[in-house]
Structure 1
Amino acid sequence: MARDTRMVSRARRHRSSPGSGLAQTVEVFYTAFGPVRAEEIARTRRNEWFDPTLVDVFLAEARTGRLWESLGEPDLARSVSLMEPPDRILVATPERLDLTARAFAWIIDAKSPFTYRHSEGVARAAAKMTEHMGLPASVVHDQTRAGLLHDIGKLGVSNRILDKPGPLTGEECAKVKQHPGLTYEVLTRVAPFQNIAEVAASHHEKLDGMGYHRGVSAEELSVPSRILSVANAFDALSQDRPYRPAMPIEKVLTILKKESGQQKLSPDCVEALEDLVSKGEL
Structure 2
Amino acid sequence: MGSIYALQSTVVEQISLSAIIGSLSYALDLTEGLPAGHSLRSCWVGMHVGQRMGMDSQELSHLYYTILLKDAGCSSNAARLFELYGADERLIKRDFKQVDSDSLMHLGRFVLSHAGIGKSLHERVTRIMNLAQNGNEFATELVATRCERGASIARQLGFDDEVAAGIRCLDEHWNGHGKPARLMGPQIPLNARIALLSQVVDVFHSAGGAALALEEVGKRSGSWFDPDVVNAFNEVEKQHDFWSGLTDDGLQQKVSLLEPESRVIRIDEDRLDTIAEAFAQVIDAKSPYTYGHSSRVAAYTSAVANAMGLPEARQRWLRRGALLHDIGKLGVSNAVLDKPGKLDADEWEQVKSHAAHSEQILARMRIFSELSFVAGAHHERLDGKGYPRGLTAARIPLETRIITVADIFDAITADRPYRGPIPIPEAIAIMEKERGTAIDGDCLDALKRSLPELDAG
In structure 2, the residue matched to 1:4 is: none
Partners of 1:98 and 1:225 in 2: CA distance: 19
1:240-279 to structure 2, matched below 5 A, reads 240-260=415-435, 262-277=436-451, 279=452
* Partner Cα separation in structure 2 for residue 281 and residue 31 of structure 1: 48
| Conservation of the 8 A alpha-carbon contact between 2:307 and 2:449 | no
Structure 2 residue matching 1:114: 3-state secondary structure: coil
Gaps of 5+ in 2: 1-94, 102-169, 175-192
The structural deviation recorded for 1:201 is 1.4
Q: Which amino acid aligns with 1:280?
A: E
| Residues 161/39 of structure 1: CA separation in 2 closer, same or farther (3 Å cut) | closer
Change (3 A) 1:217 1:16: same
Deviation at 1:121, TM superposition (A): 1.2
Greater C-alpha Rg? 1
- Give the direction of change, closer, same or farther, for the CA distance of 1:180–1:68 in structure 2 (3 Å limit): closer
Aligned residue number for residue 3 of structure 1: none
Aligned to 2:166: none
Contact 2:273 2:320 in 1 (8 A): yes
Q: Does 1:103 align with 2:259?
A: no
Picking from 394, 406, 414, the partner of 1:219 is: 394
Distance 1:228 1:272 in 2: 12
- Residue of structure 2 equivalent to 1:94: 269
The residue that corresponds to 1:139 in the other structure is 314
Confirm whether residue 75 of structure 1 aligns to residue 250 of structure 2: yes
Letter in 2 for 1:263: T
Summarize the Cα distance change of 1:70–1:207 in structure 2 as closer, same or farther, 3 Å threshold: closer
Alignment of 1:1-282 (within 5 A): 10=98, 12=100, 17-18=173-174, 19-20=193-194, 21-27=196-202, 42=217, 46-47=221-222, 49-63=224-238, 65=240, 67=242, 75-260=250-435, 262-277=436-451, 279-281=452-454
Gap change, CA 1:254 and 1:16, over 3 Å in 2: same
Which letter does structure 2 place at the counterpart of 1:198? F
The verdict on how the C-alpha distance between 1:280 and 1:97 changes in structure 2, with shifts beyond 3 A counting, is closer
Q: Deviation of residue 100 (structure 1)?
A: 1.2
Give the drift of 1:59: 3.1
Counterpart-to-counterpart distance in 2, 1:179 and 1:66: 35
- Contact 1:11 1:28 (C-alpha < 8 Å) held by counterparts: no
* Cα-to-partner distance string for 1:175-209 (whole Å, 9 max, x where unaligned): 21221112112211234333311111122211001
**Number of matched residues?**
275
Let me know the Cα RMSD of the aligned residues. 3.1
* Separation in structure 2 between the aligned mates of residue 115 and residue 253 of structure 1, nearest angstrom: 20
Output the TM-score relative to the length of structure 1. Answer: 0.82
* Cα distance change of structure 1 residues 94 and 26 upon mapping to structure 2, 3 Å threshold: same
The 1-side partners of 2:268 and 2:343 are apart by 42
CA contact (8 A) 2:173 2:223 kept: no
Secondary structure of the residue aligned to 2:340 is coil
1-structure distance, mates of 2:348, 2:247: 41
Preserved CA contact (<8 Å) 2:304 2:447: yes
Identity of aligned residues (%): 40
Q: Map Cα deviations across residues 225-264 of structure 1 (whole Å, 9 max, x no partner).
A: 111111111111111212222112111111222211x532
Q: What is the distance in 2 between the residues matched to 1:36 and 1:241?
A: 47
TM-score, normalised with respect to structure 2: 0.53
Deviation of 1:97 after TM superposition, in Å, equals 1.6
Instruction: Choose 74-83 or 116-125, whichever is displaced more.
Output: 74-83
Residues 11 and 24, structure 1, Cα contact 8 Å, conserved in 2:
no
- Deviation at residue 42 of structure 1 after TM alignment: 4.6
Q: For the residues of structure 2 that align with 1:55 and 1:230, how far apart are their CA atoms? A: 53
Which piece of structure 1 moves more, 139-148 or 71-80? Answer: 71-80
CA distance in 2, matches of 1:33, 1:250: 57
Cα gap change, 1:65 to 1:267, in 2 (>3 Å): closer
Q: Structure 1: how far apart are the matches of 2:275 and 2:421?
A: 29
Q: Deviations along 1:121-170, whole A, 9 cap, x unmatched?
A: 11111112112212222321122111111111112122222222222222
Deviation string, structure 1 residues 88-131 (Cα, Å, up to 9, x no partner)? 32223221121111111122222222222111111111112112
